[in-house]
C-alpha cells in the first residue's frame, strides 16, 4: 500500500517513513505542501498523512483540495492539540487526527482503521486514482478472515487464507430509504438518483444511522464506531461530521435528539 507523507520537519518525516516502511508500506515523503498535493493529484495514493503547518500550502488546504476529487483516507499529524484545531482539520475533510509526539504502533493502527472503513463484506473501492473518472474501473481489496486488507500485511499471529479459501462471490446490497439509496457493497450513495460523494467517515456514520432507521445513536457510539477506539475527545467532532453529512444528503434526513444524539429519518 502506498502512503504519501507530507511533513516539513525532516527528522519526523524520515523517522516516520522508516517506521512505516518497516511495517511493509511504500512511502513517498514531501517537505513542501504544494509538491505533496501535486504528487497525490497526479500519481495517486492509498493513504495520505499530513502535517498542518506546511510551506506553500498548509494541511487544511491540501485536505480540502483532495476532497474535491477523492475520498482517499487522510490522517492529520500535528503538534497542535487544541479542540478547535482538531475540529477544523476534520471539518476540512480529514478522517483522523493524531497529535505529536505519537507512537508508531498507534499510527499503524490508525492507518489500518481508516482503510477498514472502505471495506464491506466482500469488496471495496479505495485510494486516489487520477484515472478514476471511468466508473467502470474499480480497484478491489482482498480481505483476510479478520476483515483486514491484504495490502496491510498479515495480522500478528494470523496467516492470511489462500485464494481457494476466499469467497469469490460479490455481494451487493442496496438499502432504499425514501429518496436515499445506500449501496453498501460499492460504498456509493444516491439521493433522488444523483450520486453523492461522501468521505469514508461520512459514509461510516450514515451506515451506522441507517442500520436501524429511527433509532437514536449517541455521539459516543458514533465516535467509537467510526474511529475504532474509546472516545475521549470533544463531541463537537461528531457534530461537525453530521453537519457536513446533512449538507450533502439533506438536513431533514438526520434528526438531532437533544441530549441523546442523532437518528436517521427516511
Spans of the chain, pLDDT less than 70: 118-174, 184-186, 227-235
- Residue 239, C-alpha cell as written in the block: 457534530
Scanning the chain, the segments in alpha helix (DSSP H) are 10-22, 33-43, 59-67, 83-92, 104-116, 200-211, 219-227, 236-249
CA distance 125 to 119: 8
- Tally of helices (H runs) and strands (E runs) in the chain: 8, 12
Predicted pLDDT at 146: 40
Phi, psi of 242 (to 5 degrees): -65, -45
Domain 1-171: assigned CATH number: 3.40.50.2300
**Burial, 206: exposed, middle or buried (Cβ in 10 Å; 0-12, 13-18, 19+)?**
buried
Q: What is the CATH topology of the domain spanning 172-264?
A: Arc Repressor Mutant, subunit A (1.10.10)
> Which residue spans of the chain are classified as CATH 3.40.50.2300?
1-171
Predicted pLDDT at 32: 93
> Which residue spans of the chain are classified as CATH 1.10.10.10?
172-264
Terminus-to-terminus CA distance in the chain, angstroms? 38
Amino acid at each position: 500500500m502506498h502512503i504519501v507523507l507530507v511533513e516539513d520537519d525532516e527528522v519526523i518525516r524520515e523517522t516516520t517513513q522508516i517506521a512505516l516502511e518497516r511495517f511493509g508500506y511504500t512511502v513517498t515523503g514531501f517537505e513542501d505542501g504544494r509538491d505533496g498535493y501535486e504528487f497525490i493529484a497526479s500519481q495517486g495514493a492509498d493513504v495520505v498523512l499530513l502535517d498542518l503547518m506546511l510551506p506553500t500550502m498548509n494541511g487544511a488546504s491540501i485536505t480540502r483540495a483532495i476532497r474535491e476529487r477523492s475520498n482517499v483516507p487522510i490522517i492529520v499529524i500535528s503538534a497542535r492539540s487544541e479542540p478547535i484545531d482538531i475540529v477544523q482539520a476534520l471539518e476540512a475533510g480529514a478522517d483522523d487526527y493524531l497529535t505529536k509526539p505519537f507512537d508508531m504502533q498507534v499510527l499503524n493502527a490508525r492507518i489500518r482503521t481508516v482503510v477498514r472503513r472502505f471495506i464491506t463484506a466482500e469488496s471495496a473501492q479505495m485510494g486516489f486514482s487520477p484515472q478514476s473518472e471511468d466508473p467502470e474501473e474499480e480497484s478491489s481489496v482482498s480481505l483476510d478472515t479478520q476483515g483486514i486488507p491484504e495490502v496491510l500485511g498479515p495480522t500478528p499471529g494470523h496467516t492470511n487464507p489462500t485464494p481457494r479459501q476466499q469467497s469469490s462471490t460479490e455481494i451487493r446490497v442496496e438499502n432504499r430509504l425514501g429518496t436515499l439509496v445506500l449501496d453498501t457493497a460499492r460504498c456509493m450513495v444516491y439521493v433522488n438518483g444523483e450520486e453523492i460523494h461522501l468521505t469514508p467517515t461520512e459514509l461510516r456514520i450514515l451506515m451506522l444511522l441507517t442500520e436501524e432507521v429511527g433509532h437514536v445513536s449517541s455521539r459516543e457510539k458514533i465516535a467509537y464506531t467510526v474511529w475504532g477506539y474509546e472516545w475521549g475527545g470533544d463531541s463537537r467532532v461528531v457534530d461537525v461530521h453530521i453537519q457536513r453529512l446533512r449538507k450533502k444528503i439533506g438536513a431533514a434526513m438526520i434528526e438531532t435528539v437533544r441530549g441523546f444524539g442523532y437518528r436517521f429519518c427516511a
